[in-house]
Amino acid sequence: MDYPAPVARLIDELRRLPGVGPKSAQRIAFHLLRGAREDATRLSEAVGTLFDGIRTCASCHAITDQDECAICSDPARSAKVVCIVEEPHDLLAVEKTRDFRGRYHVLHGALSPLQGVGPDELRIQGLLDRLRSGETEEVILATSPTVEGEATAVYLARLLRPLGVRVTRIAMGVPVGSDLEWADVVTMSKALEGRREY
């Protein structure tokens, strides 16, 4: 016995989403079926209108519904420091700290030769143009602490230093609130290497 077509179709579409396996897809579909029809309609519309008016910022390539994003057009944000992140959602992770008052640049990916992602697939040209304007004094490489993020950081550091900007990398170490017992060897080693006077 199979599910009726509309249910099977939805389960199939949900399974394509990241972090949603066959069991979760089934659970979500039946949750929607049990719920009010209006809830499903609202979700359907939210997905269907996701791209409406959405574009990437002409300057930093963050996701925005304006020509220039809220940060790039905010005169209170300093162009002296530019924080480079891989993906639009990484920007929010930095922004949530409320510690950073500079601007961003979103690469939309990280170098990954195995997946065919080279420098040309990333939004690097726009970054160079921005830096050549001379306003920027420091570039913070906030790519992920992964093999790809690290490779991207190394590549960018080599590319950007000749432009005369200070190039920094976010600290890697044991996460706050965690137990040292659970730290993996590489993280622990980075934490030792990055130790500071106390």
Burial 116-151 (b: 16+ CB within 10 A, else e): ebeeeebebebbeebbeeeebeebbbbbbbeebbbe
Q: Using CB under 8 A, pick the residue from 17, 163, 188, 192 that binds a second copy.
A: 17
Contact letters for a second copy, residues 24-63 (x by CB under 8 A):
x-xxxxxxxx---x-xxxxxxxxxxxxxxxx--------x
Note the helical H segments in 35-102. Answer: 37-48, 88-95
Q: Does 113 bind a second copy (CB under 8 A)?
A: no
Q: Does 172 bind a second copy (CB under 8 A)?
A: no
**CA angle, residues 154, 155, 160, in degrees to nearest 5:** 100
Q: Provide, rounded to whole angstroms, the least separation between the CB of residue 34 and a second copy.
A: 8
Q: Does 111 bind a second copy (CB under 8 A)?
A: no
Q: Provide, rounded to whole angstroms, the least separation between the CB of residue 27 and a second copy.
A: 5
Q: Does 89 bind a second copy (CB under 8 A)?
A: yes
Q: Which long-range contacts (CB under 8 A, 24 or more apart) does 67-76 make?
A: 71/95, 71/103, 71/104, 72/103, 76/101
What's the rounded Cα separation, in Å, for the pair 6 and 83?
45
- Nearer Cβ to a second copy, position 88 or 149? 88
Any bridge partners for residue 56, and if so which? 63
Write the burial class of residue 77 (CB in 10 Å: 0-12 exposed, 13-18 middle, 19+ buried).
middle
Q: Does 116 bind a second copy (CB under 8 A)?
A: no
What's the rounded Cα separation, in Å, for the pair 44 and 38?
10
Q: Does 185 bind a second copy (CB under 8 A)?
A: no
Q: Using CB under 8 A, pick the residue from 16, 113, 180, 185 that binds a second copy.
A: 16
Q: Provide, rounded to whole angstroms, the least separation between the CB of residue 134 and a second copy.
A: 25
Contacts with a second copy by CB under 8 A: the residue count is 55
Residues that bind a second copy (CB under 8 A): 1-7, 9-10, 12-14, 16-20, 24, 26-33, 37, 39-54, 63-65, 69-71, 87-89, 91-92, 95
